[in-house]
Structure 1
Amino acid sequence: MLARFAVIAGALLWGTLAIFVKKLTFYGFTEMEIVTIRVTGAFICLIPIAMATASMNQLTIQLRHIWYFIGTGLFSIVFFNWAYFTAMNMMSISIAVMLLYTGPAFVAVFSAVFLKEKLTGQKGAAVLMTVTGCAVIALSGDSSTGNWTVVGFLIGLCSGLGYALYSIFGKVALRNYSSMTITLYTFLIASICLLPFFPFWKKAAGMPLEGWLYMTGLGLLPTVFAYLLYTYGLNKVETSTASILATVEPVAAAMIGMILFREQLNGGQLAGALIIVSSILVISYERKKSGRLAA
């Protein structure tokens, strides 16, 4: 039960991401610069946390396992963050985050093929609901409202693919390493690969204190804390289950979009969002049923 709460808490923190992206975009940062700020800030924040909670032996990895962290760091974190931030700036926050949650469909397929996890009827139904919800949102798109573009929609789907890859690579890495080790090396690899090409500090030098606070917050709240919680939960529940549980993120993100940024959803978009969120009830029913059988 604690692991499931950890997944949900991590997802809720991810839901606050739009606040930091919008603010840093206002200060003139590009999407890739914001990705670089996020991964670098996260890595810096993780260093003292890792040193305080783990021994050097626990933080040591084998070179032959470096592909785990290339997968979580580049193929997932960098790719999906760029796609997500771009979709968020091209469309509304609510639509961008809903498209991110095509992730469970990718996860279910990848988990069955590569991790040999069983695709149960409830999981299949929940994934189908998630995909259906995204399809309803797509069909309800209206470019005249300013919150919908075809390119933005396609990029949003790419964010779902990248999001799914973190679950897959993370699950494999958990066979050999702790959640702290995985998170630390994920952001180390991402930082090393991005910093030479996106020197965000040149723009940051002239920013007011508020801008620096948003940069720091981006590295901590929807990044370090969120990923530690999610990766911990991933160690205790199946990948596809964790991914579907994390669909509480769209609720938080949509509320932030409507309350703070005055965004609106039309009837079809709202219906699609409700279908996605309802998938949580389906997977929760599966867990409850499984618990009764075990007892």
Structure 2
Amino acid sequence: MVTELKSSPVAGKKFDHFKGLSMVLLGAVLWGVSGTAAQVLFQHDGFDAGWLVCVRMSIAGVLLLAGISMKSGPMRSIAVWKDKRDALRIVLFGIIGLLGVQYSYFASIRYGNAATGTMLQYMGPIFITGYLALRQRRLPSISQCVAVFLALAGALLLVTNGDVRSFSVAPLAVFWGLVSAMTLAFYSLYPQSLLRKYGAATIVGWAMLIGGIGMACITPPWHFTGHSSFGAWWLVCFVVLFGTLIAFYVYMSSLKYISPSEASLLSCGEPLSASIIAVACLHVQMGLPAIIGGLCILVTVAILALNRRKDR
């Protein structure tokens, strides 16, 4: 009996750690699958990327803020607007950060495919590394330099499929993929103080809603184009609920049980799942050089995540 009592806290910690790992993997897989679902909507059903981003962010933002209001009270969800400086920062984060990363990611998928768009987005850590090196006025570590080299080599293999004489991916897909990587870096670095002050759910909820409203000024949700069918609207629901709301919720909840560095490392499941599903279900052709390029980018994320873990 004594042995059981002593071992139970350890077993509980192990279970919580396993639960955290499972949650972040689930979130990463849902993000990857939603990218493939978006590819079907763009290339098969003729949906507009801006329309999907507007609907996705607006609905997810409203649902997330409604959940916060019911759980912690409405005053909790509007606290950020009492400080003018914080209010301006949340608007910038919503437009440049969340809207920027969402639209550029889907635009890359629209002109290319889910695998390429997701892989290029995961070059974001390179921009983070470069920015921090300049800000801290110190050269990147050897592991960071190796990561940058692998990411650049991987991106080259991915977009050329090993033949540098011609791109195997549309130039617009590459352009929007790189924009997605840069906005992902901004999204990761800019809101740190806001997250500590108000909580991730509140900040991301408002940022989603603001980004959705900003996108509505360009592509109103009532200006719908595309082939309307039960299957298409089911995919829209999946992207909004599972690929946005639930994926974010389980990812953020996992941070109660595992460290941010572990969560960042395991988020490699997103590009991996997007690539596997795109190849298996959509018959996207990826040659051996492109596969090697994708693996290089995954290794890049792993190296940078492990490097952050050592620095903590």
Match of 1:22 among 39, 48, 52: 39
| Partner-residue secondary structure (3-state), 1:28 | coil
| Aligned pairs, number | 290
Within a 5 Å distance, the mapping from 1:87-126 to structure 2 comes to 87-113=108-134, 120-126=141-147
Mark the CA change 1:147 to 1:225 in structure 2 (over 3 Å): closer, same or farther.
farther
Q: 1:205, 1:83 → 2: CA distance?
A: 20
Match of 2:53 among 25, 35, 55: 35
Please say if 1:246 is aligned against 2:264: no
What's the counterpart of residue 132 of structure 1? 153
Please identify, of 246-255 and 281-290, the stretch whose mean Cα deviation from structure 2 is larger: 281-290
| Higher Cα Rg, which structure | 2
Q: What is the letter of the counterpart of residue 29 of structure 1?
A: F
Within a 5 Å distance, the mapping from 1:122-271 to structure 2 comes to 122-140=143-161, 148-203=169-224, 207-231=228-252, 245-271=266-292
Q: What is the letter of the counterpart of residue 21 of structure 1?
A: A
The answer (yes or no) to whether the contact 2:59–2:209 under 8 Å persists in 1 is: no
Query: TM-score by structure 2 length?
Result: 0.77
Q: 1:146, 1:44 → 2: CA distance?
A: 40
Instruction: Show CA shifts across 1:168-189 (max 9, x none).
Output: 1232322312111111111121
Q: 1:246, 1:53 → 2: CA distance?
A: 28
Please identify, of 183-192 and 68-77, the stretch whose mean Cα deviation from structure 2 is larger: 68-77
Mark the CA change 1:161 to 1:284 in structure 2 (over 3 Å): closer, same or farther.
closer
Please say if 1:66 is aligned against 2:84: no
Across the aligned residues of Structure 1 and Structure 2, the Cα RMSD in angstroms comes to 3.6
Mark the CA change 1:81 to 1:185 in structure 2 (over 3 Å): closer, same or farther.
same
Q: 2:202, 2:141 → 1: CA distance?
A: 31
Which runs of 5 or more structure 2 residues have no equivalent in the other structure?
1-16
Q: 1:39, 1:112 → 2: CA distance?
A: 32
The answer (yes or no) to whether the contact 1:90–1:147 under 8 Å persists in 2 is: no
| Partner-residue secondary structure (3-state), 2:197 | coil
Please identify, of 120-129 and 268-277, the stretch whose mean Cα deviation from structure 2 is larger: 120-129
Query: TM-score by structure 1 length?
Result: 0.81
Match of 1:50 among 68, 84, 97: 68
Q: 1:90, 1:136 → 2: CA distance?
A: 18
| Partner-residue secondary structure (3-state), 2:196 | coil
Q: What is the letter of the counterpart of residue 52 of structure 1?
A: M
Instruction: Show CA shifts across 1:28-49 (max 9, x none).
Output: 3211111112111212322332
The answer (yes or no) to whether the contact 1:204–1:212 under 8 Å persists in 2 is: no
